[in-house]
Structure 1
Amino acid sequence: MEQLTQQQQFETLVAWLRSAICGNEAFTLGYNAEASEFIRFNHGKVRQAGQVQQAALNLKLIDDGRHADLHLTLSGDAEVDQARLAQALQQLRETLVLLPKDPYLLPNTDGWHVSNIHNPPLPDTTRVLKQISQLSEGLDLVGFYAAGPLYRGFASSWGALGWHQANSFNFDWSLFHENGQAVKASYAGDKWDDAAFALRFQQATEQLEFLGRPLQTLAPGQYRAYLAPAAMDEIIGMLCWGGFSAEALASKSSPLQRLYGGDARFSPQVNLDEQVTGSLSPAFSPEGYPRRDLSLINAGVAREQLVGSRSAAEYGLQANGAGWGESPSALAMAGGSLELKDILKQLGTGLYISNLWYLNFSDQPAARLTGMTRFATFWVENGEIQAPVNTMRFDDSAYSLLGSALEELTRERELILSASTYSQRQTASSQLPGALISRLTLTL
């Protein structure tokens, strides 16, 4: 018997569920699956390799304003999975009668259809391992490689049906110097390019050589700085904690409250979009709302916000497919005019910051962030790297970093995929440039 594809398995269960509900019952059904390959490296050698194939459903049953959810793992056997779904349906029926009505329940009753299958050939693992082995010869490389298709599905009793498949890979690695210092880098996408990876690796090895020089300690103060895309990802990522959320903005708890209120703005160079089109993220939310591209910040001015169904119901807004937490999952920031080859020259004297970590808000209403420099941070003089810099803490406002102090953004942007593998691989991504900053405040 021919084995069903993931999509066929999902649609078979949807068809059975539609025939099983009765009375005023309604449902939504979410599907998550992956077929992933994981490889762990240590000292430049493969230390662990494995494959994960898993699929799961999230069933929500709705009746007379009451609703309950149940998550179940699928086996891949059609009869077993149908029996599990039937058991879940009965369990939810027994639960619903015990629950109060939800005043903010706002399911999408439109019968939309969306299908997106992005399945370019994944890189040949043998070839990838060979190139990594050759480039890391004699180096202490620690890393993690993940690749494979991710599947997402959605269906409802109102006729909605969505399917999403996206192939991707993500190689996240560090090169360690014998003194314990490290350079961190990543290479991700849907098409492996030997030349592009070799260039990315070369940049990391060049930085590794500078880590052998004596550490330079800087006094607290303001310094000119270049923030690489990975460092920008940490800063933008913090602002996504409620920054674009309709619920956070309505309750006045967003770190970008002043931006959306018109009391502050970023540099005209700052353009941020939730760019679903062409991303690895599905064009529908787990709640069952189609997603579209959103202009979050245009020329430094706040525009659209991310609205989930509960925020839409509570505040009288139009839901636009925002997921849990109303955070971006396909963030894209426009690049500028700074060429990569000119970064050190344009920086002149100051800090080259590859990564940041341990970020938090020191003053959330003012969008003020604090965190630590991480891995390869260098002191630059007259356009040349002089020495690695001791770990330092920064404390500065996003309205400075992305506003008055922002001089230029790089033309080239880096695609950064979520490296999270908790429960499953994720589809979230960001595409960000590097940023030249006239002043960054270091506090200790």
Structure 2
Amino acid sequence: MSTEELSRLETSFNKVVEMLLAKKLSSEHFTVKLNCERSQFTRFNHAKVRQTGRVADGSVQLTLMDNQRSCYQEFPFTGDSEIDWRIAYGVLQELREELPLLPEDIYLVLPSGNNTSREVNTGKLLDADLVTETILLPVSELDFTGIYASGIVIKGYADSCGQKHWFVTNTFTLDYSIFSPEEQAVKGFFAGSQWNNEAYITKIEDAKKQLELLARPAKKLERGQYKTYFAPAAVADLLSMMSWSAVSEADIQQGNSSLASLWRSEKQLSPHFSLKENFQRGLVPRFNELGEMAAPELPVIAKGILANTLINSRTAKEYGKIPNGADGSESLRSPEICPGNLAFEDILSRLGTGLYVSNLHYLNWSDLPNGRITGMTRYACFWVEDGEIVAPIENLRFDETLYQFWGGKLIDLTNFQEFIPEVGTYESRHLGGCVVPGILVDDFTYTL
């Protein structure tokens, strides 16, 4: 996207906000949220391009609040200021008609404060004409499948109090799988704001080595407890559960949190385990749906002890708490698990005999009050004996509590971290991801 087009989009958004400020009634409050992108998508199958194209998309969500009621409507954002402000004015009038028909919301939070921010993160991505050649050349002889998404994503916010935020990021993600003739697969991610071809080739070379190991006869394991190394992608899967009935203050108050025992100080996790929200990497906006700014860093679990839950203003109003800039769902937006001391070259020797797990899937809570998670192993998981990979394994289901694998059974975390990106593209490109190390766990429970 050119600088001129980016400026045109910002100008159009500002004009919508100016019109709403001029037209609102004295008793009314509003918020305006913009989601906009200029993206390239290329899908691959069998190391060939199956679909490619560019998307220019944008939408605005206008929420109107008055007399302890609220309603919202979403409408297209064209970037043409004359079109956009007229559509927005029509939507404002429709919301005024709807609002009196709705019930009161006793915990409605009105926008307040004077936060403003403007963050533009630049990147150096692949030229559109070079995407196919660059990505497919190292995998031309492989059964390579995946999707490459790149370009600019814009998040904007404004409200009736005069708060305004503008966030721009220019990134790419490549979510891929490489299949063996035996229909085994190695899954990988490559993402960032600067394309590094050497790093990409290194990723593919590592995948080729794993494919060679997958060609060996698979080993069937009996259910039981096994010492296990979880690679960063698998750790990211486990971490994702923390955004679902765990770190939310509302879930704590309503008795729906897997961390209730940690919150009551009845249990604690390993002193080696620390989790925080870290917005300093610029992966996602710091502002939430009410324009409130989260702290650059917020410790969530510090050395095994619950330091903070995520609290939005609605939860704070309902339960008498102090908000800390959490979003509406009180989920992790830019999480980071702190590293440990395990070096990459020592992973297999420290594992000794056990499982090397690259990926997980189908995760769910099996016993929420006790923090017990069930799921399955997936791509490129191996049986290790005496510090050497012996064979791939058949898929295993696990059932284990976070109070064990992040608690008493946690041996160590790696001294390196990986960025595991959000790669979703439903409705729009998803931003962010998590920064996590690998973890070594003793006696992890596999049920079948």
Q: TM-score range by the shorter chain?
A: over 0.9
Q: TM-score, normalised by structure 1?
A: 0.97
Q: Write the distance in 1 (CA, Å) between the matches of 2:228 and 2:424.
A: 29
Aligned twin of 2:97: 94
For the 8 Å contact 1:170–1:419, the answer to whether it is kept is yes
Partner SS for 1:304: coil
Q: C-alpha offsets along residues 179-218 of structure 1, whole Å, 9 cap, x if unaligned?
A: 1111111111111222222222211111111111111000
Aligned-partner residue type, residue 383 of structure 1: G
2:155 equivalent in structure 1: 152
Correspondence for 1:312 among 309, 312, 316 = 316
Residues 1:425 and 2:429 are matched in the alignment: yes
Among 192, 195, 199, the alignment partner of 1:192 is 195
- The answer to whether the aligner puts 1:362 opposite 2:363 as a matched pair is no
Q: Which residue of 1 aligns with 2:397?
A: 393
* CA deviation profile, 1:89-124 (whole Å, cap 9, x unmatched): 000000111123211011231121111111122233
Which residue does 1:60 correspond to in 2?
63
Equivalent residue in structure 1 for 2:185, among 173, 182, 187? 182
Aligned counterpart for 2:227 among listed residues 210, 224, 229: 224
Counterpart AA for 2:44: F
Matched, 1:414 2:412: no
| Partner-residue secondary structure (3-state), 2:112 | coil
**CA distance in structure 1 between the aligned counterparts of 2:9 and 2:444, rounded to whole angstroms:** 49
Tell me what 2:439 maps to: 435
> Percent identity of the aligned residues?
38
Which of 405, 408, 429 pairs up with 1:404? 408
Local SS of the residue matching 2:420: strand
In structure 2, do the counterparts of structure 1 residues 335 and 127 end up closer, same or farther at CA, with 3 Å as the change threshold?
farther
Alignment-mate amino acid for residue 315 of structure 1: Y
Mapped partners of 1:172, 1:3: distance in 2: 27
- SS at the partner of 2:373? strand
1:23 and 1:437 map into 2 onto residues whose CA distance is 59
Query: Alignment partner of 1:287: what SS?
Result: coil
RMSD over aligned Cα atoms: 1.5
Picking from 18, 23, 34, the partner of 2:21 is: 18
Whole-angstrom distance in 2 between the partners of 1:3 and 1:270: 42
Distance in 2 (alpha carbons) for counterparts of 1:19 and 1:166:
30
Asked if 1:251 is matched to 2:288, the reply is no
CA–CA separation in structure 2 for the residues paired with 1:32 and 1:2: 15
Contact 1:279 1:330 (C-alpha < 8 Å) held by counterparts: no
Q: Does 1:375 pair with 2:375?
A: no
Shift of 1:324: 2.8
How far has the Cα of 1:388 moved from its partner?
A: 0.6
Deviation at 1:77, TM superposition (A): 2.3
Q: Could you say what secondary structure the match of 1:254 adopts? A: coil
Please state whether the residue corresponding to 1:106 is helix, strand or coil: coil
Aligned partner of 1:295: which letter? P
| AA aligned opposite 2:315 | S
Cα shift at 1:128? 4.5
2:209 paired residue number? 206
1:233 matches 2:261: no
Q: Distance in 2 between matches of 1:417 and 1:291?
A: 21
- How far, CA to CA, are the matches of 1:18 and 1:389 in structure 2? 61
AA in 1 matched with 2:220? T
Q: Distance in 2 between the 1:81 and 1:206 partners?
A: 53
Aligned equivalents of 1:124 and 1:365: distance in 2?
50
SS of residue in 1 equivalent to 2:241: helix
Paired residue type of 2:411: E
What amino acid sits opposite 2:77 in the alignment?
L
Asked if the contact 1:107–1:309 (Cα under 8 Å) also holds between the matched residues in 2, the reply is: no
1:103 equivalent to 2:78? Answer no
Letter matched to residue 395 of structure 1 = D
One-letter amino acid matched to 2:444: L
Q: Which amino acid aligns with 2:333?
A: S
Code of the residue aligned with 2:376 in structure 1: it is M
Higher deviation after alignment, 213-222 or 106-115:
106-115
User: In 1, are the aligned partners of 2:13 and 2:79 still within 8 Å (CA)?
Assistant: no
Q: What residue number does 2:245 align with? A: 242
Q: Please report the TM-score for the alignment, with normalisation by the length of structure 2.
A: 0.96
User: Does structure 1 residue 294 correspond to structure 2 residue 301?
Assistant: no
Cα deviation for residue 132 of structure 1 reads 2.2
Q: What is the rounded CA distance, in whole Å, between the counterparts of 2:264 and 2:8 in structure 1?
A: 48
Q: In the comparison of the two structures, how many residue pairs are matched?
A: 444
> What is the SS of the residue equivalent to 1:278?
coil
Bigger CA drift: 175-184 or 114-123? 114-123
Give the whole-Å Cα distance in 1 for the aligned partners of 2:81 and 2:10. 13
Counterpart contact for 1:107–1:288, Cα < 8 Å: no
Task: Write out per-residue CA displacement over residues 198-254 of structure 1, whole angstroms, 9 at most, x where no aligned residue.
Answer: 222211111111111111000111101100111111111112202110100111210
Alpha-carbon distance in 2 for matches of 1:62, 1:219 = 58
d(CA) in 2 for partners of 1:402, 1:162: 37
1:123 to 1:240, Cα distance in 2 relative to 1, 3 A: same
Matched, 1:29 2:32: yes
> In structure 2, what residue type is equivalent to 1:329?
R
Which residue is equivalent to 1:269?
272
Q: Is the 8 A contact 1:105 1:309 kept in 2?
A: no
* Cα distance in 1 between the residues matched to 2:5 and 2:443: 63
Distance 1:109 1:345 in 2: 55
Q: Report the AA paired with residue 83 of structure 2.
A: V
Q: Closer, same or farther in 2 for the Cα pair 1:56/1:2, shift >3 Å?
A: closer
Indicate the larger mover: 99-108 or 377-386: 99-108
Question: In structure 2, how many angstroms separate the alpha carbons of the residues matched to 1:224 and 1:233?
Answer: 19
Unaligned runs of 5+ residues in structure 2 are: none
| C-alpha spacing 1:27/1:195, structure 2 compared with 1 (3 Å) | same
Cα distance in 1 for partners of 2:348, 2:422 equals: 28
Which of 351, 354, 371 aligns to 1:350? It is: 354
2-structure distance, mates of 1:143, 1:166? 22
What does 1:117-136 align with in structure 2 at a 5 Å threshold? 117-136=120-139
